[in-house]
Amino acid sequence: MTTNNSSSAPRGTHGADRVEVDDRRAGKAGLAVAGLGIVIFNIAPFMNWVDPSGDADPRTGYATDSLVPFIAYLGLGLLLAMVYAASRARRGQHRGLTLVSMAVGLAATIQCIAFALQPMGGLERGDDLSAQIGVYVGIIGAALWALGSGLLAKEIEGDDGHSRSDR
């Protein structure tokens, strides 16, 4: 009696007749939450971020710091990439991409919190700046972005190297 231990046999083959197929896909709730957060974060730069004390001249996120819209656009790019991965990956997500999105969302959250505590850009001009509503909208959007990406990262990924018992 000979046994064929060929490496070309399908993964999950048990006996000659039975093939176990893992067709689970990542849930999309995390992607939806991340998408909502990214959209909210992209609205925040259009809102007032700082107001020089004593002046009636509030500045938007765009006028305050060019990093604000850059992070917002980076979020859009990551969202499009995650949506593409959801449509193409075998199990509906690419964990590496999702973890990068979570890291950028966390960085954006921390940046907005730091901005709310001590608005950036006023020291070199001698302005006494106070944070405005756009910073707080940015915090909410970035936190949702990071949370949603984290929820998606918890889901099963497109890698075939993990079995059901790994979860």
Residue range 101-135, pLDDT digits in tens = 999 999 999 999 998 988 876 555 556 788 889 99
Domain region containing 121? 28-157
**How many domains in the chain?**
1
Asked whether residue 47 is assigned to any structural domain, the reply reads yes
Sheet holding 129-131, edge to edge: 59-60, 48-52, 129-131
Asked whether residue 99 is assigned to any structural domain, the reply reads yes
Asked whether residue 13 is assigned to any structural domain, the reply reads no
Residue range 140-152, pLDDT digits in tens = 999 999 999 998 8
Asked whether residue 7 is assigned to any structural domain, the reply reads no
Asked whether residue 5 is assigned to any structural domain, the reply reads no
> Mean pLDDT over all residues of the chain?
79
Asked whether residue 162 is assigned to any structural domain, the reply reads no
Please tell me the predicted confidence (pLDDT) of residue 126. Answer: 55
Asked whether residue 62 is assigned to any structural domain, the reply reads yes
Q: Is the overall model pTM greater than 0.85, yes or no?
A: no
Q: How many residues does the chain have?
A: 167
Asked whether residue 6 is assigned to any structural domain, the reply reads no
